[in-house]
Amino acid sequence: MNITPIDVPGYEKVARAEDPESGLVAFIAVHDTTLGPALGGMRLWKYRSEDSAKWDVLRLSRGMTFKSAVARTGLGGGKSVIVADAATKNDALFEAMGRFVDSFNGLYITAEDVNVGIPDLLAVKKQTKYVTGLPRDMGGSGNPSPYTARGTFVGIRSTLRAALGSDDLDGRVVALQGAGSVGFVVGQHLVEHGAKLVVCDVNESNLARARDELKAEIVDPDDIYDVECDVYSPNALGATLNDDTIPRLKCKVVAGAANNQLDDESKHAQQLKERGILYAPDYVINAGGIINVSLELVPGGYDEAAAFKKIDHIGDALTSVYETAKSRDITTHDAAQEVAESVLAEARASAGSGSKEAGTTA
Protein backbone atom coordinates (compact mmCIF):
# COMPACT_ATOMS: atom_id res chain seq x y z
CA MET A 1 0.00 0.00 0.00
CA ASN A 2 1.27 3.48 -0.82
CA ILE A 3 0.57 6.01 1.92
CA THR A 4 1.31 9.61 0.96
CA PRO A 5 1.27 12.42 3.54
CA ILE A 6 -0.50 15.59 2.42
CA ASP A 7 0.42 18.92 3.96
CA VAL A 8 -2.76 20.87 4.79
CA PRO A 9 -2.41 24.08 6.82
CA GLY A 10 -4.41 23.92 10.04
CA TYR A 11 -4.55 20.11 10.07
CA GLU A 12 -2.30 17.90 12.19
CA LYS A 13 -2.03 14.98 9.79
CA VAL A 14 -3.63 14.15 6.45
CA ALA A 15 -2.74 11.21 4.22
CA ARG A 16 -3.88 9.44 1.06
CA ALA A 17 -3.63 5.67 0.64
CA GLU A 18 -3.70 3.63 -2.52
CA ASP A 19 -3.64 -0.14 -2.43
CA PRO A 20 -3.49 -1.63 -5.94
CA GLU A 21 -4.28 -5.15 -4.69
CA SER A 22 -7.67 -4.32 -3.11
CA GLY A 23 -8.38 -1.22 -5.21
CA LEU A 24 -8.51 1.01 -2.12
CA VAL A 25 -8.18 4.76 -2.59
CA ALA A 26 -8.80 6.60 0.67
CA PHE A 27 -8.01 9.65 2.77
CA ILE A 28 -7.66 10.08 6.52
CA ALA A 29 -7.63 13.56 8.05
CA VAL A 30 -6.70 14.31 11.66
CA HIS A 31 -7.70 17.90 12.24
CA ASP A 32 -6.90 18.48 15.91
CA THR A 33 -5.96 16.29 18.88
CA THR A 34 -5.80 18.98 21.57
CA LEU A 35 -8.60 17.27 23.50
CA GLY A 36 -7.63 13.66 22.75
CA PRO A 37 -7.21 11.16 19.91
CA ALA A 38 -9.15 12.06 16.76
CA LEU A 39 -12.30 10.00 16.51
CA GLY A 40 -14.62 10.16 13.52
CA GLY A 41 -16.46 7.81 11.20
CA MET A 42 -15.37 6.16 7.98
CA ARG A 43 -17.43 7.19 4.95
CA LEU A 44 -17.56 5.33 1.66
CA TRP A 45 -18.84 7.35 -1.28
CA LYS A 46 -18.66 7.39 -5.05
CA TYR A 47 -16.94 10.79 -5.15
CA ARG A 48 -16.79 12.38 -8.59
CA SER A 49 -13.09 13.09 -8.06
CA GLU A 50 -10.35 12.57 -5.51
CA ASP A 51 -10.36 16.32 -4.90
CA SER A 52 -13.98 16.19 -3.79
CA ALA A 53 -13.17 13.26 -1.47
CA LYS A 54 -10.31 15.24 0.05
CA TRP A 55 -12.52 18.31 0.43
CA ASP A 56 -15.11 16.15 2.22
CA VAL A 57 -12.65 14.53 4.63
CA LEU A 58 -11.15 17.91 5.54
CA ARG A 59 -14.54 19.47 6.25
CA LEU A 60 -15.79 16.45 8.14
CA SER A 61 -12.71 16.07 10.33
CA ARG A 62 -12.73 19.76 11.26
CA GLY A 63 -16.42 19.45 12.16
CA MET A 64 -15.54 16.52 14.44
CA THR A 65 -13.08 18.70 16.39
CA PHE A 66 -15.81 21.22 17.15
CA LYS A 67 -18.44 18.56 17.77
CA SER A 68 -16.32 16.76 20.34
CA ALA A 69 -15.26 20.04 21.93
CA VAL A 70 -18.85 21.22 22.50
CA ALA A 71 -19.98 17.75 23.62
CA ARG A 72 -16.93 17.48 25.89
CA THR A 73 -16.12 13.93 24.83
CA GLY A 74 -12.39 14.20 25.54
CA LEU A 75 -11.69 13.43 21.88
CA GLY A 76 -10.17 15.26 18.94
CA GLY A 77 -11.44 15.58 15.38
CA GLY A 78 -10.72 13.18 12.54
CA LYS A 79 -12.46 11.40 9.71
CA SER A 80 -11.77 9.00 6.86
CA VAL A 81 -13.27 8.56 3.41
CA ILE A 82 -13.01 5.73 0.90
CA VAL A 83 -13.47 6.58 -2.78
CA ALA A 84 -15.61 3.69 -4.05
CA ASP A 85 -19.02 2.61 -5.22
CA ALA A 86 -20.98 1.07 -2.32
CA ALA A 87 -22.13 -1.70 -4.67
CA THR A 88 -18.55 -2.95 -5.00
CA LYS A 89 -17.45 -2.79 -1.35
CA ASN A 90 -15.82 -5.95 0.01
CA ASP A 91 -13.77 -7.23 2.95
CA ALA A 92 -10.42 -6.89 1.16
CA LEU A 93 -11.11 -3.17 0.70
CA PHE A 94 -11.92 -2.72 4.40
CA GLU A 95 -8.95 -4.81 5.54
CA ALA A 96 -6.69 -2.54 3.47
CA MET A 97 -8.44 0.44 5.08
CA GLY A 98 -7.71 -1.15 8.48
CA ARG A 99 -3.99 -1.13 7.65
CA PHE A 100 -4.27 2.54 6.66
CA VAL A 101 -6.04 3.40 9.95
CA ASP A 102 -3.42 1.42 11.89
CA SER A 103 -0.62 3.44 10.28
CA PHE A 104 -1.85 6.42 12.36
CA ASN A 105 -0.92 4.50 15.56
CA GLY A 106 -4.02 5.56 17.47
CA LEU A 107 -3.92 9.22 16.54
CA TYR A 108 -7.08 8.43 14.49
CA ILE A 109 -9.83 6.09 15.76
CA THR A 110 -12.54 5.08 13.33
CA ALA A 111 -16.29 4.30 13.50
CA GLU A 112 -19.28 3.92 11.16
CA ASP A 113 -20.47 6.54 8.72
CA VAL A 114 -22.39 6.64 5.44
CA ASN A 115 -22.16 3.30 3.58
CA VAL A 116 -19.96 1.72 6.26
CA GLY A 117 -21.62 -0.68 8.70
CA ILE A 118 -20.68 -3.20 11.37
CA PRO A 119 -19.65 -6.03 8.97
CA ASP A 120 -17.30 -3.59 7.23
CA LEU A 121 -15.81 -2.46 10.55
CA LEU A 122 -15.24 -6.09 11.53
CA ALA A 123 -13.04 -6.42 8.44
CA VAL A 124 -11.26 -3.18 9.42
CA LYS A 125 -10.72 -4.58 12.92
CA LYS A 126 -8.76 -7.54 11.57
CA GLN A 127 -5.97 -5.05 10.85
CA THR A 128 -6.27 -2.45 13.62
CA LYS A 129 -7.53 -2.10 17.17
CA TYR A 130 -8.50 1.54 16.58
CA VAL A 131 -12.16 0.83 15.80
CA THR A 132 -15.21 1.86 17.85
CA GLY A 133 -18.95 1.39 17.50
CA LEU A 134 -18.76 -2.40 17.31
CA PRO A 135 -21.62 -4.53 18.71
CA ARG A 136 -22.15 -4.76 22.47
CA ASP A 137 -21.25 -8.47 22.55
CA MET A 138 -17.86 -7.52 21.13
CA GLY A 139 -17.21 -4.96 23.86
CA GLY A 140 -18.32 -1.96 21.82
CA SER A 141 -21.12 0.55 22.30
CA GLY A 142 -23.07 -0.62 19.23
CA ASN A 143 -24.30 1.30 16.22
CA PRO A 144 -24.19 5.03 17.06
CA SER A 145 -27.08 5.95 14.74
CA PRO A 146 -29.98 5.53 17.22
CA TYR A 147 -28.05 7.68 19.72
CA THR A 148 -27.44 10.34 17.11
CA ALA A 149 -31.15 10.19 16.33
CA ARG A 150 -32.11 10.55 20.00
CA GLY A 151 -29.88 13.62 20.35
CA THR A 152 -31.27 15.08 17.13
CA PHE A 153 -34.82 14.60 18.36
CA VAL A 154 -34.02 16.27 21.69
CA GLY A 155 -32.36 19.05 19.67
CA ILE A 156 -35.36 19.55 17.37
CA ARG A 157 -37.52 20.08 20.45
CA SER A 158 -35.18 22.60 22.05
CA THR A 159 -34.88 24.44 18.73
CA LEU A 160 -38.65 24.67 18.39
CA ARG A 161 -38.86 25.87 21.99
CA ALA A 162 -36.36 28.63 21.26
CA ALA A 163 -38.04 29.65 17.99
CA LEU A 164 -41.73 29.27 18.82
CA GLY A 165 -41.91 29.11 22.61
CA SER A 166 -43.19 25.52 22.60
CA ASP A 167 -41.73 22.11 21.83
CA ASP A 168 -45.12 20.45 21.42
CA LEU A 169 -44.84 18.36 18.25
CA ASP A 170 -48.49 17.50 17.90
CA GLY A 171 -49.52 18.45 14.36
CA ARG A 172 -46.14 19.98 13.50
CA VAL A 173 -44.91 19.26 9.98
CA VAL A 174 -41.32 18.09 9.55
CA ALA A 175 -39.68 17.90 6.12
CA LEU A 176 -37.20 15.06 6.57
CA GLN A 177 -34.41 14.77 4.01
CA GLY A 178 -32.93 11.27 4.17
CA ALA A 179 -34.61 8.40 6.03
CA GLY A 180 -31.49 6.26 6.57
CA SER A 181 -29.97 4.94 9.79
CA VAL A 182 -30.38 8.24 11.62
CA GLY A 183 -33.19 9.95 9.70
CA PHE A 184 -35.62 7.05 10.01
CA VAL A 185 -35.20 6.89 13.81
CA VAL A 186 -35.55 10.68 14.09
CA GLY A 187 -38.78 10.20 12.12
CA GLN A 188 -39.95 7.49 14.52
CA HIS A 189 -39.45 9.76 17.56
CA LEU A 190 -41.24 12.62 15.80
CA VAL A 191 -44.23 10.51 14.75
CA GLU A 192 -44.52 9.04 18.27
CA HIS A 193 -44.93 12.64 19.47
CA GLY A 194 -47.61 13.53 16.94
CA ALA A 195 -45.61 15.16 14.14
CA LYS A 196 -46.45 14.70 10.46
CA LEU A 197 -43.59 13.84 8.12
CA VAL A 198 -42.84 14.77 4.53
CA VAL A 199 -39.90 12.61 3.46
CA CYS A 200 -37.53 12.40 0.52
CA ASP A 201 -34.76 9.90 -0.11
CA VAL A 202 -32.89 8.52 -3.10
CA ASN A 203 -33.04 4.97 -1.76
CA GLU A 204 -36.27 3.19 -2.71
CA SER A 205 -36.38 0.77 0.23
CA ASN A 206 -35.74 3.52 2.78
CA LEU A 207 -38.47 5.54 1.13
CA ALA A 208 -40.91 2.62 1.25
CA ARG A 209 -40.13 2.08 4.95
CA ALA A 210 -40.82 5.76 5.70
CA ARG A 211 -44.09 5.65 3.76
CA ASP A 212 -45.30 2.39 5.31
CA GLU A 213 -44.05 2.65 8.89
CA LEU A 214 -44.05 6.42 9.46
CA LYS A 215 -47.05 7.20 7.26
CA ALA A 216 -44.91 9.85 5.63
CA GLU A 217 -45.91 11.85 2.59
CA ILE A 218 -43.21 11.32 -0.03
CA VAL A 219 -41.76 14.06 -2.24
CA ASP A 220 -39.01 14.16 -4.87
CA PRO A 221 -35.55 14.90 -3.42
CA ASP A 222 -35.41 18.28 -5.14
CA ASP A 223 -38.84 19.34 -3.85
CA ILE A 224 -38.06 18.94 -0.13
CA TYR A 225 -36.84 22.56 0.12
CA ASP A 226 -40.22 23.92 -1.01
CA VAL A 227 -42.29 22.02 1.56
CA GLU A 228 -44.38 24.26 3.81
CA CYS A 229 -43.32 23.00 7.25
CA ASP A 230 -42.24 23.85 10.80
CA VAL A 231 -38.93 21.98 10.64
CA TYR A 232 -36.60 21.21 7.76
CA SER A 233 -34.52 18.29 9.03
CA PRO A 234 -31.51 17.42 6.86
CA ASN A 235 -30.40 13.83 7.54
CA ALA A 236 -28.66 12.91 4.30
CA LEU A 237 -25.47 14.52 3.02
CA GLY A 238 -23.78 17.88 3.57
CA ALA A 239 -23.95 21.33 1.96
CA THR A 240 -27.71 21.22 1.41
CA LEU A 241 -28.04 24.73 2.86
CA ASN A 242 -26.73 26.90 0.05
CA ASP A 243 -27.49 29.83 -2.27
CA ASP A 244 -30.09 27.81 -4.19
CA THR A 245 -31.93 26.18 -1.31
CA ILE A 246 -32.06 28.79 1.49
CA PRO A 247 -34.32 31.22 -0.42
CA ARG A 248 -36.73 28.35 -1.07
CA LEU A 249 -37.11 27.13 2.53
CA LYS A 250 -40.58 27.51 4.06
CA CYS A 251 -39.71 26.35 7.58
CA LYS A 252 -39.28 28.02 10.96
CA VAL A 253 -36.25 26.00 12.03
CA VAL A 254 -33.54 23.86 10.46
CA ALA A 255 -32.61 20.96 12.74
CA GLY A 256 -31.18 17.68 11.52
CA ALA A 257 -28.30 15.25 11.89
CA ALA A 258 -26.41 15.67 8.62
CA ASN A 259 -22.81 16.80 8.95
CA ASN A 260 -21.62 20.07 7.36
CA GLN A 261 -25.07 21.29 6.38
CA LEU A 262 -23.95 24.83 5.50
CA ASP A 263 -22.23 25.05 2.13
CA ASP A 264 -20.44 28.23 3.23
CA GLU A 265 -20.58 28.33 7.02
CA SER A 266 -20.58 32.08 7.75
CA LYS A 267 -22.49 33.22 4.67
CA HIS A 268 -25.27 30.65 4.86
CA ALA A 269 -25.66 30.88 8.66
CA GLN A 270 -26.14 34.62 8.10
CA GLN A 271 -28.66 34.04 5.29
CA LEU A 272 -30.71 31.76 7.54
CA LYS A 273 -30.60 34.34 10.33
CA GLU A 274 -31.77 37.08 7.95
CA ARG A 275 -34.65 34.89 6.83
CA GLY A 276 -35.67 34.41 10.50
CA ILE A 277 -35.02 30.67 10.37
CA LEU A 278 -33.42 29.28 13.52
CA TYR A 279 -30.53 26.98 12.58
CA ALA A 280 -29.44 24.21 14.95
CA PRO A 281 -25.66 24.03 14.43
CA ASP A 282 -25.08 20.59 12.95
CA TYR A 283 -22.19 19.51 15.11
CA VAL A 284 -24.06 20.40 18.29
CA ILE A 285 -27.35 18.65 17.45
CA ASN A 286 -25.79 15.52 15.92
CA ALA A 287 -23.30 14.75 18.72
CA GLY A 288 -25.32 11.83 20.16
CA GLY A 289 -23.33 9.19 18.28
CA ILE A 290 -19.92 10.54 19.21
CA ILE A 291 -21.03 10.96 22.83
CA ASN A 292 -22.11 7.32 22.88
CA VAL A 293 -18.92 6.05 21.28
CA SER A 294 -16.71 8.21 23.52
CA LEU A 295 -18.12 6.45 26.58
CA GLU A 296 -16.68 3.20 25.19
CA LEU A 297 -13.24 4.61 25.89
CA VAL A 298 -13.73 5.82 29.49
CA PRO A 299 -12.18 3.87 32.34
CA GLY A 300 -14.81 1.42 33.58
CA GLY A 301 -16.26 0.88 30.12
CA TYR A 302 -19.50 1.71 28.37
CA ASP A 303 -22.67 2.53 30.31
CA GLU A 304 -25.85 3.22 28.30
CA ALA A 305 -27.61 5.10 31.11
CA ALA A 306 -24.66 7.51 31.29
CA ALA A 307 -24.82 7.88 27.50
CA PHE A 308 -28.55 8.77 27.53
CA LYS A 309 -28.01 11.30 30.29
CA LYS A 310 -25.25 13.03 28.37
CA ILE A 311 -27.07 12.88 25.04
CA ASP A 312 -30.15 14.47 26.56
CA HIS A 313 -27.97 17.46 27.49
CA ILE A 314 -27.74 18.30 23.79
CA GLY A 315 -31.01 20.18 24.25
CA ASP A 316 -29.45 22.38 26.95
CA ALA A 317 -26.28 22.92 24.89
CA LEU A 318 -28.44 24.20 22.02
CA THR A 319 -30.55 26.39 24.30
CA SER A 320 -27.40 28.04 25.56
CA VAL A 321 -26.16 28.58 21.97
CA TYR A 322 -29.52 30.20 21.05
CA GLU A 323 -29.41 32.48 24.12
CA THR A 324 -25.90 33.64 23.25
CA ALA A 325 -26.81 34.17 19.58
CA LYS A 326 -29.90 36.17 20.51
CA SER A 327 -28.30 38.34 23.18
CA ARG A 328 -25.31 39.20 20.99
CA ASP A 329 -27.19 39.31 17.67
CA ILE A 330 -24.82 36.79 16.09
CA THR A 331 -25.57 33.64 14.10
CA THR A 332 -26.12 30.37 15.92
CA HIS A 333 -23.18 29.00 13.97
CA ASP A 334 -20.89 31.71 15.39
CA ALA A 335 -22.27 31.18 18.89
CA ALA A 336 -21.54 27.42 18.70
CA GLN A 337 -18.11 28.10 17.27
CA GLU A 338 -17.32 30.33 20.24
CA VAL A 339 -18.18 27.52 22.67
CA ALA A 340 -15.96 25.07 20.75
CA GLU A 341 -13.07 27.53 20.53
CA SER A 342 -13.27 28.33 24.23
CA VAL A 343 -13.15 24.62 25.17
CA LEU A 344 -10.12 24.16 22.89
CA ALA A 345 -8.42 27.31 24.21
CA GLU A 346 -8.91 26.17 27.80
CA ALA A 347 -7.37 22.78 27.00
CA ARG A 348 -4.44 24.40 25.21
CA ALA A 349 -3.88 26.68 28.19
CA SER A 350 -3.68 23.70 30.53
CA ALA A 351 -1.66 21.59 28.05
CA GLY A 352 1.02 19.53 29.67
CA SER A 353 -1.32 18.43 32.44
CA GLY A 354 -1.70 15.05 30.65
CA SER A 355 -5.35 15.44 29.65
CA LYS A 356 -5.06 13.67 26.28
CA GLU A 357 -6.62 10.39 27.33
CA ALA A 358 -9.94 9.79 25.54
CA GLY A 359 -13.00 10.24 27.68
CA THR A 360 -11.30 11.98 30.57
CA THR A 361 -13.45 15.05 30.18
CA ALA A 362 -16.56 13.09 29.18
Give the active site residues. Answer: 79
Looking at the Cβ atoms of 155 and 178, the one nearer to ligand NAD is 178
Residues 6+ apart with CB under 8 A from 42: 79, 80, 81, 82, 97, 101, 110, 111, 112, 113, 116, 120, 121, 124
Decide: is 218 part of the binding site for ligand NAD (CB under 6 A).
no
Helix, coil or strand: residue 158: helix
CB of 113 to ligand NAD, least distance (A): 6
Binding to ligand NAD (CB under 6 A) within 282-341 occurs at 286, 289
Euclidean distance between CA atoms 112 and 43, whole angstroms? 7
Binding to ligand NAD (CB under 6 A) within 223-242 occurs at 235-238
Decide: is 114 part of the binding site for ligand NAD (CB under 6 A).
yes
Contact stretch for ligand NAD (CB under 6 A) within 7-15, 88-96, 180-188, 297-305: 180-188
Nearest residue to ligand NAD on Cβ basis: 180
Maximum alpha-carbon separation in the chain: 58
Decide: is 42 part of the binding site for ligand NAD (CB under 6 A).
no
CB 68 within 8 A of CB 38: no
CB of 39 to ligand NAD, least distance (A): 12
Decide: is 177 part of the binding site for ligand NAD (CB under 6 A).
yes
Euclidean distance between CA atoms 13 and 10, whole angstroms? 9
Decide: is 32 part of the binding site for ligand NAD (CB under 6 A).
no
Exactly one of 81, 134, 176, 182 binds ligand NAD (CB under 6 A); that residue is: 182
Decide: is 80 part of the binding site for ligand NAD (CB under 6 A).
no
Decide: is 179 part of the binding site for ligand NAD (CB under 6 A).
yes
Exactly one of 40, 77, 183, 187 binds ligand NAD (CB under 6 A); that residue is: 183
Phi, then psi, of 33 in degrees rounded to 5: -120, 25
> How are beta strands 278-279 and 253-254 bridged, if at all?
parallel
Please give the DSSP secondary-structure letter assigned to residue 179: -
Angle (CA) 27 221 334, round 5°: 60
Residues making contact with ligand NAD (CB under 6 A): 113-114, 144-145, 148, 177-183, 200-203, 206, 221, 235-238, 257-259, 286, 289
